[in-house]
Amino acid sequence: MTSTPSTTTVDRKAGQAAEPGASVLVTSQGTTTIASTVVRQIAGRAARDVPGVHALGGGAARALGALRERVPGAHASAGQGVTVEVGEKQAAIDLRVVVDYGASIPALARTVRADTIAAVEDMTGLEVIEVNIAVEDVHVPGEQAEPTPTRVH
């Protein structure tokens, strides 16, 4: 995305105007690069914190995460169910979510999108150009979504 000459970019952290087309990640004093895994973790944590989001990821990813949680000292990945594309100044995010039964999916999607954008932009300085949300399942309390892995003795 290219800024027009009349547009001024504001460094939200410093509250100062930057040169047109400038990024908070590219300055006269150096360049900051942010790995896509960092953006994945930030987006995943922001989405999970929204009430009504039961989990992130498709069935296979959730099953693998459940197995990982049973290993002492291991935990589910914060980026599970999150795919990102990160450029020099912008990021695009895809989320796969499982919602709690009874949650308004359109309202939940608005909140997840807004919270994810705010978290990524505030923490990284990247402009989030889109957050696509795929609702892959509904969690109903008391129902078991996936079969419990059978232990072999």
Cα pseudo-dihedral 40, 69, 47, 90, rounded to 10: 0
| pLDDT band at residue 137 under the 50/70/90 scheme | very high
Q: How far is CA 149 from CA 27, 71, 90, 95, in A?
A: 52, 14, 41, 26
> Which segments of the chain belong to CATH 3.30.70.1350?
33-139
The closest alpha carbon to 19, from 30, 29, 7, belongs to: 7
The average confidence (pLDDT) of the chain is: 78
Domain boundaries 33-139, corresponding CATH code: 3.30.70.1350
Rounded to two decimals, what is the model's pTM? 0.70
How confident is the model at residue 82, as a pLDDT?
Answer: 97
pLDDT digits (tens, 9 = 90+) for 7-32: 333 344 444 444 444 457 888 899 88
Q: Choose between 2 and 71: higher pLDDT.
A: 71
Q: How far is CA 114 from CA 12, 64, 149, in A?
A: 17, 28, 36
The closest alpha carbon to 120, from 20, 47, 71, 30, belongs to: 47
